[in-house]
Amino acid sequence: MLAGTEATAIAERVEKLRSLLNEANYRYYVLDAPTLPDSEYDGLLRELQAIEVDHPELLTSDSPTQRVGAGPVKAFAEFGHAIPMLSLNNAFSEEEVAAFDRRVREGLDRMDAAIEYAVEPKFDGLAVALHYQRGVFVSGATRGDGARGEDVSANLRTIQSIPMRLGTESPPEWLEVRGEVLMLRRDFERLNEAARSNGEKTFVNPRNAAAGSLRQLDARITARRRLSFFAYGVGRIEGVSLPESHTAVMDWLTALNLPVSNECSAAIGVDGLMRYFHALGARRDALPFDIDGAVYKVNSLADQAVLGFVARAPRFAIAHKYPAQEEITQVLGIDVQVGRTGALTPVARLKPVFVGGVTVTNATLHNEDEVRRKDVRVGDSVIVRRAGDVIPEVVGVLPERRSMRDLVTPEFPPFSMPSACPECGAPVIRLEGEAAARCSNGLSCPAQRKQALFHFASRRAMDIEGLGDKLVEQLVENDLIATPADLYDPSKVNRESLASLDRMAEKSAENLVQAIKDSRSRELPRFIYALGIRNVGEQTAKDLARHFGNLDALMAADAEALHEVPDVGPVVAESIRAFFSEPHNLDVIERLRQAHAWKDGEARRIAVGKLAGKTLVVTGTLPSLSRDQARALIEAEGGKAAGSVSRKTDYVVAGAEAGTKLAKAQELGIRILDEAAFFELIQHGDNTQ
């Protein structure tokens, strides 16, 4: 036993350390605004750990040292919810939202009123309840079936944004906070990255990763997984009275240091709900976490009480869902497609499934390693994802369904890449360090020839209207054309030869001849892009055209000259050099030159404009300009609008919700402009240097 004064001093130090660490944690994980350097945090934590080891009587369950996770348990204890955790009814359309609003107005007998709603994201995670007794976290549980869940207190303690003590001097006797546990996308990527490099199985999406991590019997594993929590309501409450509205409750929880998403807001009437729904939907892909809809709640708690419940869902709330971005379907077969550059892409043929707003029948499997890693086989049940306008992909298989399948059909072998090109039979090669296996036959492979031609004619390249994939296929298969230059050869492509093709009326033949004519003298950037040089996309094509001014200068450029172009690194430079070393390509270009297929610049473009020679990156949402508009302004002033921040960047124009690009700019000490400063720069140039 210690002498009284010394014991008091130690206890006070422990208290002090805990409150410093809790505060630092809160600032780091909830406010996203760290104030204490990591090294100091670690020092304080170690000091606290040392005292707790020497004085075990001072150890408490809410100590910051307890977040590392307790040892494994055999099973979770059952946890009965004092107040049942209800479920939410869903709406999938504006009509269903309007019907919900009508039922609310009827239920409140205020048919002509515009109702105020609290609006919030529908987090795609797991519902949990956190219990605080006199401000200290005492237990927490999953929702389970709503009446009883699992006691996952030890796991919840490891979630850094969940306070172990509420941020108040006068805590309520009891507070049950309800919310959603999820994994941020960046933490999910990091977790899968680590799993991949260790040859372990990856998670198919952040939701599964969050569920798998929270329900670990060994909380030390949960601690390493980095989960997040957002509050969306309260349950059992004692010793305090709630404010009058849901939004005020959320503000109160915020003041208690609980994490509340800043996407939470209020809206009036169906119009207000729909505006929120669309605005949130537009930002959906840019949010740091997955959501599957928006949740609307009658804001007045008194009105909520009047409305009450039907069955197990409240009448005062509804979840308005976005079209699902992921669905389960079955793999009917795995094809291998040959792309423009000869890359072989395995593609899953799927039982048709409605996902992300369209019916999907094919999904990319990216490359050989991806198929192997996910071990996708014919007959498997798979999760297909289509987010935004991205090509649908297979994110993973549901292995538990494979064992069921094995009972009825024989096992399918693991996928392997063919050794010969499925289109031309040439050997398939895979260079060291490359993910893609390729057909070695170049433009002698009809598939590559078709893709090259299709790309050449595409809208953002030479823009030859009417020359789609079906027509290109016929032209190549009937040996009318083999290269883009043949398009401009009237002895090959003319009204008669075109009209002889299947499903080609005279009028459309005439239109195509005209469209080919119209495509002559396209500007250099389009032409460079149309050539289909590996690793040269639209932006790089623009950069090259701007830098070299004409095609001859580009063709003559050695690696060193190419490196002077912003954003051109060794890989791109090598692709360009390889392309222009190929005799076949030189021959085609010469014929295109004679056909006047493009308009060359006179010489290197003279740098003019307020931003000449400057590289800018636009990130986040600007108050009035769209990102494309900002880019256009930069280019009009002779500047370069780059996609990523590097040491070559001169300015970063940052709007709301700017993320990693802004952080990187700050790290590199790059000048950061808001929209107003950007306008100032465009109008008056940089006056500060």
Binding site for ligand D41 (CB under 6 A): 86-88, 120, 122-123, 127, 143, 180, 232-233, 295, 297, 314, 317
Cα 661 to Cα 39, 118, 347, 664: the distances in Å are 25, 32, 33, 5
Closer residue to ligand D41 in complex, CB, 13/312: 312
Please report how close the Cβ of residue 301 comes to ligand D41 at its closest, in angstroms: 11
Please report how close the Cβ of residue 295 comes to ligand D41 at its closest, in angstroms: 4
Please report how close the Cβ of residue 518 comes to ligand D41 at its closest, in angstroms: 52
* Cα separation, 598 vs 552, whole angstroms: 12
* Cα separation, 574 vs 281, whole angstroms: 41
* Cα separation, 298 vs 266, whole angstroms: 10
Say which of 74, 122, 351, 492 is annotated catalytic: 122
Please report how close the Cβ of residue 123 comes to ligand D41 at its closest, in angstroms: 4
Closer residue to ligand D41 in complex, CB, 143/226: 143
Closer residue to ligand D41 in complex, CB, 141/528: 141
Closer residue to ligand D41 in complex, CB, 107/466: 107
Distance of CA 197 to the CA centre of its chain: 21
Please report how close the Cβ of residue 306 comes to ligand D41 at its closest, in angstroms: 15
Sign of CA pseudo-dihedral 145, 151, 153, 159: negative
Find the largest Cα–Cα distance for the chain. 108
Please report how close the Cβ of residue 415 comes to ligand D41 at its closest, in angstroms: 37
* Cα separation, 310 vs 318, whole angstroms: 12
Residue 186 CB coordination number (10 Å): 14
Nearest to 543 by CA among 574, 573, 578: 573
**33: exposed, middle or buried (Cβ count in 10 Å: 0-12, 13-18, 19+):** exposed
Three-state DSSP class for residue 172? coil
Please report how close the Cβ of residue 125 comes to ligand D41 at its closest, in angstroms: 7
Structure-token pair, residue 2: 């210690």
70 Cβ partners below 8 Å, 6+ apart? 154, 157, 219, 220
Please report how close the Cβ of residue 85 comes to ligand D41 at its closest, in angstroms: 6
358 Cβ partners below 8 Å, 6+ apart? 386
* Cα separation, 301 vs 433, whole angstroms: 60
Closer residue to ligand D41 in complex, CB, 120/675: 120
Query: In b/e form, how buried is each residue of 424-443, taking b as 16+ CB within 10 angstroms?
Result: bebebebeeeeebbbbebbb
Pairing of strands 344-355, 326-338: antiparallel
Please report how close the Cβ of residue 134 comes to ligand D41 at its closest, in angstroms: 24
Residue 351 bears catalytic tag: no
Nearest to 327 by CA among 293, 361, 294: 361
189 Cβ partners below 8 Å, 6+ apart? none
Closer residue to ligand D41 in complex, CB, 295/641: 295
* Cα separation, 648 vs 567, whole angstroms: 8
Closer residue to ligand D41 in complex, CB, 87/535: 87
Nearest to 243 by CA among 299, 295, 306, 296: 299
Long-range CB contact pairs, 242-249, < 8 A, 24+: 242/301, 243/301, 244/300, 244/301, 244/302, 245/116, 245/118, 245/299, 245/300, 245/301, 246/118, 246/297, 246/298, 246/299, 246/301, 246/304, 247/118, 247/299, 249/301
Closer residue to ligand D41 in complex, CB, 314/609: 314
* Cα separation, 469 vs 254, whole angstroms: 56
Closer residue to ligand D41 in complex, CB, 122/377: 122
Sign of CA pseudo-dihedral 346, 348, 349, 355: negative
Closer residue to ligand D41 in complex, CB, 83/390: 83
Please report how close the Cβ of residue 311 comes to ligand D41 at its closest, in angstroms: 12
Cα 538 to Cα 31, 439, 459, 591: the distances in Å are 39, 24, 12, 23
Please report how close the Cβ of residue 264 comes to ligand D41 at its closest, in angstroms: 8
Asked whether 392 and 364 are in contact (CB, 8 A), the reply is: yes
In this structure, the chain runs to a length of 689
Closer residue to ligand D41 in complex, CB, 307/344: 307
Please report how close the Cβ of residue 140 comes to ligand D41 at its closest, in angstroms: 15
Closer residue to ligand D41 in complex, CB, 122/661: 122
Structure-token pair, residue 138: 């005492």
Which position has the token pair 């200068």?
553
What Rg do the C-alpha atoms of the chain give, in angstroms? 31
Three-state DSSP class for residue 333? strand
Alpha carbons within 13 A on the beta-carbon side of 460: 7
Which residues are part of the catalytic machinery?
A: 122
